[in-house]
């Protein structure tokens, strides 16, 4: 009932920020920012099969790229503001599209732009000195989140033209997604290049930022400050050494020294909860959303109080996570040609949903008890998949209802 109460607020915020383009908010800047838009698009995929705005966003940010390779942070816009991490999120936005929609030619069209972004970042890798092998943050505003724990204007420690653990892990994360894009486009050599770069950088980042005493990755080379952001991106990159995962899991939810994510970056914290298979934590984190209606909100705010904007659609991402994380429905192959359904319902006893798919509708009606799932699943015709829960794996065929 708490989720059902929060969904209309998430959807209303998304609607208010969908015009001829997406936008961060309908009152202040009224601009389409990359970081906001990636999360708005993911919520859109869970809401409708209409992908005109996602396509337009990818197109426009691709057109916004400057000669040095990076996208503008917002577009269309009269100023050339650069937020380097947002250029990486644009590459991830293209990767999302390649999974959720079946249009390989559209993806191929924008791959040169994605390569340009990554080439610019790779050219910022230090070649000598004690920081050799690490990313020196590209020039621009390295906004990451509206965290207030010692961050100034959303900038992580040492992120302004320095060596930030957060931004370094962000590049590793993005290189892996770029590799999957290249595989989908039939460019295995470029996929291998991205994976080699990701592995090389991850090794350097692990050596430079890991702190054994705390069992966490530091935000800067001095190991004085730590954040949820660094741990999330390290986990999601796929390159965290296996023996360190349990330590990071413990610290992520218990270490009081960590700078906390706010509404925007909580999306990546929710993703980390999914990776760690501890989605019960998500319900603790959703307290802000559960309290919105009682506090008079009809849309999602930009950040916890004091907040400037009371309508910021990056806060709609819990709607996406209800489908993709709690119910566990995600693309398992490019073009959504295969589906993986791997629920992590936490304490929920039942999940019923309909998720729009390019070829029809995915339907779930599942009940959970004693670590087992019973119910039914149906996929569109021509779409295969697999269901996993409680150590059980069931092959799914499209075009008919499967009873569990």
The pLDDT assigned to 79 comes to 87
Of 356, 359, 351, 354, nearest to 384 by C-alpha is 359
- Can you give the C-alpha Rg of the chain in angstroms? 20
- pLDDT at 68 (0 to 100): 87
pLDDT of residue 346: 95
Answer yes or no: are the C-beta atoms of 100 and 338 closer than 8 Å.
Answer: no
Helix (H, G, I), strand (E, B) or coil at 402: strand
- The alpha carbon of 130 is separated from its chain's Cα centroid by a whole number of angstroms, namely 31
Nearest by Cα to 310 from 12, 2, 6: 12
- Which residue stretches of 286-337 are H helix? 287-290, 317-321
Q: What is the pLDDT along the chain (404 residues), one digit of tens a residue?
A: 898 889 999 999 999 999 999 999 999 999 999 999 999 999 999 999 999 999 999 999 999 999 889 999 999 998 899 999 999 999 999 999 999 999 999 999 999 999 999 999 999 999 999 999 999 999 999 999 999 888 999 999 999 989 999 999 999 999 999 999 999 999 999 999 999 999 999 999 999 999 999 999 999 999 999 999 999 999 999 999 999 999 999 999 999 989 999 999 999 999 999 999 999 999 999 999 999 999 999 999 999 888 889 999 999 999 999 999 999 999 999 999 999 999 999 999 999 999 999 999 999 999 999 999 999 999 999 999 999 999 999 999 999 999 99
Q: In the prediction, which pLDDT does 163 show? A: 97
Give the whole-angstrom CA distance, residue 381 versus residue 161: 51
CB 332 within 8 A of CB 340: yes
Q: Are 372 and 355 in contact (CB under 8 A)?
A: no
**Exposed / middle / buried, residue 328 (Cβ in 10 Å: 0-12, 13-18, 19+):** buried
Query: C-alpha distances in angstroms, 60 versus 49, 322, 335, 382?
Result: 20, 29, 21, 32
State the pTM of this model: 0.97
Residue 378's SS3 state is strand
CA distances from 54 to 18, 40, 44, 133, 315 (A): 10, 9, 8, 35, 17
Any bridge partners for residue 369, and if so which?
A: 372
Which pLDDT score, from 0 to 100, does residue 4 have?
86
Across 229-263, b (16+ Cβ under 10 Å) vs e yields bbbbbbbbbebbeeebeebbbebbeeeeebbbbbb
Chain centroid offset of residue 62 CA: 19
pLDDT on residue 304: 85
Phi, psi of 164 (to 5 degrees): -105, 130
CB 86 within 8 A of CB 73: yes
Please choose, from the candidates 402, 374, 356, 344, the residue with its C-alpha nearest in 3D space to the C-alpha of residue 50.
356
Q: In angstroms, how far is the first alpha carbon of the chain from the final one?
A: 25
Q: What is the pLDDT of residue 49?
A: 95
What pLDDT, on the 0 to 100 scale, is given for residue 308? 87
């Amino acid at each position: 009932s708490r989720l059902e109460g929060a969904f209309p607020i998430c959807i209303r915020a998304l609607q208010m920020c969908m015009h001829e383009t997406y936008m961060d908010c309908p009152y202040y800047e009224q601009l389409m920012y990359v970081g906001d838009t990636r999360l708005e698009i993911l919520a859109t995929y869970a809401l409708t099969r209409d992908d005109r705005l996602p396509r337009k966003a990818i197109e426009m940010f691709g057109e916004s790229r400057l000669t040095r390779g990076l996208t503008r942070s917002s577009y269309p816009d009269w100023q050339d503001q650069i937020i380097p991490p947002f250029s990486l999120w644009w590459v991830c936005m293209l990767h999302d599209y390649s999974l959720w929609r079946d249009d390989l030619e559209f993806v191929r069209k924008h791959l040169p732009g994605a390569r340009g972004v990554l080439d610019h970042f790779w050219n910022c890798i230090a070649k000598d000195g004690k920081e050799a092998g690490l990313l020196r943050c590209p020039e621009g505003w390295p906004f990451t989140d509206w965290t207030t724990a010692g961050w100034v204007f959303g900038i992580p420690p040492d992120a302004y033209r320095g060596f930030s653990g957060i931004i370094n892990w962000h590049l590793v994360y993005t290189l892996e997604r770029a590799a999957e894009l290249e595989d989908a486009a039939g460019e295995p050599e470029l996929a291998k290049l991205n994976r080699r770069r990701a592995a090389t950088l991850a090794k350097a980042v692990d050596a430079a930022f890991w702190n054994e005493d705390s069992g966490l990755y530091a935000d800067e080379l001095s190991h004085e400050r730590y954040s949820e952001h660094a741990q999330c991106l390290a986990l999601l990159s796929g390159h965290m050494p296996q023996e360190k995962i349990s330590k990071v899991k413990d610290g992520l939810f218990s270490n009081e020294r960590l700078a906390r994510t706010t509404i925007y970056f909580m999306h990546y914290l929710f993703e980390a909860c999914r990776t760690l298979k501890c989605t019960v934590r998500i319900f603790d984190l959703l307290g802000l959303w559960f309290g919105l209606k009682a506090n008079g909100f009809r849309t999602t705010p930009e950040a916890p109080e004091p907040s400037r904007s009371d309508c910021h659609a990056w806060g709609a991402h819990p709607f996406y996570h209800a489908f993709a994380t709690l119910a566990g429905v995600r693309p398992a192959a490019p073009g959504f040609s295969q589906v993986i359904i791997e629920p992590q319902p936490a304490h929920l006893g039942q999940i019923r949903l309909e998720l729009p798919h390019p070829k029809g509708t995915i339907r779930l009606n599942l009940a959970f008890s004693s670590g087992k799932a019973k119910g039914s699943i149906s996929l569109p015709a021509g779409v295969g998949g697999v269901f996993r829960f409680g150590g059980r794996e069931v092959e799914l065929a499209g075009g008919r209802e499967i009873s569990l």
